[in-house]
Amino acid sequence: MNKELKSRIEKLSVRLFNIKTRAEVFRSDEQFGDFSTNVGLKLAREIGRDPREIAQAIAEELNKSSEFREVTVAGPGFVNITLKDPVLFDSSMSAHKLEKTYLGQEIVTEYSDPNPFKVLHAGHFYTSVVGDSISNLLEAAGANVHRVNYGGDVGLHAAKTMWAMLQDLGGENPESLETIDNDKRADWLADCYVKGTAAYGDDEKAKSEINELNKKIYTLVNNKDKDSPLAKIYWTARGWSYDYFDAFYERAGIKFEKYYPESEVARLGLNTVKQNTPKIYSDSDGAIVYEGEKEGLHTRVFITREGLPTYEAKEVGLILTKNQDYKFDRSVVITANEISQYMQVVLNSIAKFAPDLVDKTTHLTHGMVKLPGARKMSSRKGNILKAVDILDLAEASSKKINPSTTPDVVLGAIKYSFLKSGLGGDIVFDANESVSIEGNSGPYLQYALVRARSILQKAGYSKTPPDVGELNPAERSLARKITIYPEVFVTALEELSLHHICTYLYELAQTFNRFYESNRVIGDQRSALRISLVKSYANVLESGLNILGISAPEKM
C-alpha cells in the first residue's frame, strides 16, 4: 500500500511543482496517522520554497481521494495520512498474503557448516537457526531455496583427530573401533581433536606425523580407497560425525537438502586455482597465493607447499560446484565473523574469472554465542559451549516454569532468542530469559497464537465479511498494526534480517493483548468484525512464526 502512495506522491510532485523527487512514505507514530511523508521537506530544499506551503498543496490534492479520512500537515512540513476505517480493515484482512517477488528464482543458502571430526558447538546452532530462517524468508517470497551444508571432512583438523584416534586404537586397527560405545563416539572424536591439536602445537614429532597423515587422508579420499585399514577408520569415524550432526539437526528441527563435504569440492578448487596460475594466483615460496594486498585485502595461501588445497581453494571449488548443481540466481552464505575477511579474498579472486558468480553471492556473518558472564571459548582447547548444551539448558529452564513443557516451546525459545537481535556482534544466550513466559520471547508469541486459535475455535468464523463502519480505537490500532506486516516482510527480505520480524510480531501481540483486554470478541454486537480481526491477526502471527521456524504447540 505504501508503494502505491509513494508513486502517487511522486506524480503529484511532478504535476504541482514540475520536479521529480524520491518521496519517502513511512510509518510514523500512530498518533500522526497511518502514513507520513516528508516530501514537503525534500522538495523545499530543491525548489527553495516553504516546506509547509508545499506540504499543504500536496495534502489538499490527497484529500480529494476517497480512501483517506484525513490528510494533514504537521511539524516542520510532514504530511500525515489517515485511511478511512473500512479501507484499513480491508487491507488488514489480506496482510498475511505476501508478495512472491522471488518467484522462479533458484537460491542456494549455505549455513551451519560443521566439520566432521570436531564437536558441534553453540555457534553451529546459532548459524543453523539463522540460515534456516533466512531460507524460510526467501521461500515465503516465492524462491526455490536449496539449503546446503558444507563441512571439512578433509584437512588438518581431520588429521589431528585421526592422529589421536590412532594413538587410542593402538595403530591402524579398524576392529578396535568397535570397543567405542555408540553414545560415546561423538565425545571421543571431540576429545581426540583436542589431543591432536595439543600435540600438533607442542610436539615436533607429532606435528610432522600429523602432516604426513593429512596427505595420506587426501590421497585415500581422492583414490576412493575404502578398504585399507586407515581408510576404514577414516570412513567409519566420518560416518559417525555425520550421524551425530543428523541427530542434532533432527532434534533442532533444521533440515538440509545436501551436504557438501570438502573432499567433494577440493579437487575442482585445486584444479581451478592451478589453471588460473600465474594469471590470477601466483607462486610464492612454493605455495600458490592470491596477492590480496594489491587490492587492500590480505594475501592468502590457496595451495600449500605440500600441494594441498587450503580452505580458500576449497571455497573456490564449492562456489563452482554449487553453480553447476543449481545454476543459482543467488547464493547466500552464512558464517561467523572470523570468516569474513577470508571470504573477501576468495571472492575477490573469483571475481577475476567468474564475476557473475561473485555478484550473485551474499556473505552474511554473525558473532559468537556466549552465556551470561562467560569468558572466551575455544574448541581447540575443549572448553566450549556445545550445541546440545544450549538445548539442555533451555529445556531445564523451561521445565522449571512448566514441568510438562514441550520441545516446541524449548526450541521456540532458543530460536527466538537467537533471531531477535540483528546479526553482527556476539549474542548472549540467557536460558532463563529465553524460555520466560513474560517479555519479548518465543513462548510469549507461541502463547499469543495458541490463545488466538482457541478464541477462533470457540467462536467459529463465518465467510461473510462484516460491515465495517467505524472502528473503535483498539480495533483500529490492531487493524493498523496488522497491515504493517507486508512492509516488515519486505524490509526483512531486502536486508535478510529476521530481527525486524521478531520485533514486529512482538509489538503485534502486544497490540492484540491491549485490544483483547477490553473488547469482548464472542457474544458481542461487534463480534463478526472482531472475529475477522482475530483471524487475520492469527494468520499474520502464524506466517511470521513460520518464517522464524517456530511452531506453536496445540496447547500450552
Partner RNA sequence: GCACCCGUAGUUCAGCUGGAUAGAACGUCGGCUUGCGGAGCCGGAGGUCACAGGUUCGAAUCCUGUCGGGUGUACCA
Minimum CB separation of residue 19 from RNA in Å reads: 15
Least distance from C-beta 185 to RNA, angstroms?
21
Please name which of 369, 346, 347 lies closest in space to residue 358, comparing C-alpha atoms: 347
Which range touches RNA (CB under 7 A), out of 61-69, 124-132, 221-229, 434-442? Answer: 434-442
The residue among 57 and 180 lying less far from RNA, judged by its C-beta, is: 57
Residue 233 carries which side chain, given as an amino acid letter?
I
Give the 3-state secondary structure of residue 479: helix
Contact flag: residue 522 with RNA (CB under 7 A) = yes
DSSP 8-state symbol, 437: S
**Shortest CB 106 distance to RNA, Å:** 25
Q: Comparing C-alpha atoms, which of 450, 376, 469 is closest to residue 122?
A: 376
Q: Which of 17, 32, 235, 326 binds RNA (CB under 7 A)?
A: 32
Question: How many other CB atoms are there within 10 angstroms of residue 554's CB atom?
Answer: 9
201 near RNA (CB under 7 A): no
Q: How far is the CB of 173 from RNA (least distance, A)?
A: 26
CA-angle at 430, arms to 365 and 400, nearest 5°: 140
- Footprint on residues 310-329 left by RNA (CB under 7 A): 310-312, 314
User: Which amino acid is located at 85 in the chain?
Assistant: D
Residue 299 makes contact with RNA by CB under 7 A: yes
Site for RNA (CB under 7 A): which residue of 109, 127, 436, 539? Answer: 436
DSSP string across 293-315: GGGTS--EEEE-TTS-B-HHHHH
By CB under 7 A, is residue 275 in contact with RNA? Answer: no
Residue with cell 533440515: 255
Range in contact with RNA (rule: CB under 7 A) among 52-60, 140-148, 168-176, 504-512: 504-512
296 binds RNA (CB under 7 A): yes
- Assigned C-alpha cell, 58: 500536496
| Part in contact with RNA (CB under 7 A); list of ranges 11-19, 37-45, 236-244, 271-279 | 37-45
Q: Which listed range, 252-260, 356-364, 385-393, 506-514, lies at the site for RNA (CB under 7 A)?
A: 506-514
CB atoms within 10 A of CB 444: 20
Q: Which of 75, 3, 4 is nearest to 33 (CA)?
A: 75
| Residue 287 sits in the site that holds RNA (CB under 7 A) | yes
Per CB under 7 A, the list member of 12, 354, 437, 528 interacting with RNA is 437
Under the binding rule (CB under 7 A), the answer on residue 506 touching RNA is yes
Nearer to RNA, 255 or 520 (CB): 520
**272 lines the binding site for RNA (CB under 7 A):** no
Comparing CA positions, the residue from 117, 139, 367 lying closest to residue 257 is: 139
Q: Residues 66-105 vs RNA: string with x where CB under 7 A?
A: --------xxx-x-x-------------------------
Alpha carbons 476 and 493: distance in angstroms, whole number? 27
Quote the least distance from Cβ 327 to RNA, whole Å: 25
- For residue 72 the three cell numbers come to 494533514
Please, which residues bridge with residue 428 across strands? 370
What minimum distance in Å lies between the beta carbon of 115 and RNA?
Answer: 6
d(CA 191, CA 383): 11
Among 1, 5, 9, 41, binds RNA (CB under 7 A): 41
477 binds RNA (CB under 7 A): no
Strands 258-261 and 330-336: unpaired
Does residue 177 bind RNA (CB under 7 A)?
A: no
Which residue number, 79 or 180, has a Cβ lying nearer to RNA?
79
Q: Does position 517 bind RNA by CB under 7 A?
A: yes
Residues 42-61 that bind RNA (CB under 7 A): 42, 44-45
Residue 440 binds RNA, judged by CB under 7 A: yes
CB 111 within 8 A of CB 128: yes
* 475-493 b/e (C-beta count within 10 Å ≥ 16 → b): bbbbbbbbbbbbbbbbebb
CB 285 within 8 A of CB 291: no
* Site for RNA, residues 322 to 361, rule: CB under 7 A: 337-342
- Residue of 316, 25, 280 whose CA lies nearest to 150: 316
Q: Which of residues 107-126 bind RNA (CB under 7 A)?
A: 115
Per CB under 7 A, the list member of 386, 420, 480, 481 interacting with RNA is 420
In the bound complex, what is the minimum distance in angstroms from residue 92's beta carbon to RNA?
18
Residue 518 grid coordinates = 477490553
